Amino acid sequence: MDERLQALGASVRYLVSDRAQALIQLADNGGECLSMPECFHVVHALITSYALAIGRRRHQAPKQLAAAEHALASHRDRTPVAPDRFQAQAAVEASRTAGQRWEEVHST
């Protein structure tokens, strides 16, 4: 679970089940404890929205890489060495890295 949360850039601050022994003991002892019953449908909705966002970025990554490679090729045709060419090369590398990252997030 930690690996998946890290891949999404998310964190969990508090998580208990309604039937967790610790929650029952806190209630018996008069301790206050935040309880959020009936939240499983909300968790499903959150997961669905994350999945759609991940899928969208994963789908866009190859298109962005192709566009960056096309821009780099056009810079190579014009001049062999120029500052714009270095920026185009950096854009290709960034697009390639982003595509790999979204593939890893999806597989996780």
Intra-chain end-to-end CA distance of the chain, in Å: 10
User: Rg (Cα) of the chain, in Å, rounded?
Assistant: 23
C-alpha 93: how far from its chain's center? 19
CA angle 53, 54, 60 (to 5 degrees): 90
Q: What is the mean pLDDT of residues 27-42?
A: 63
pLDDT for 23 equals 62
pTM reported for the whole predicted model: 0.50
pLDDT tens digit sequence for 56-107: 889 999 999 999 998 888 877 776 666 777 888 888 999 999 999 988 888 8
How buried is 102 (Cβ within 10 angstroms: 0-12 exposed, 13-18 middle, 19+ buried)?
buried
Q: Is the pLDDT of residue 38 over 80?
A: no
pLDDT over threshold 70, residue 11 = yes
Quick one: tokens of 5? Answer: 């949360």
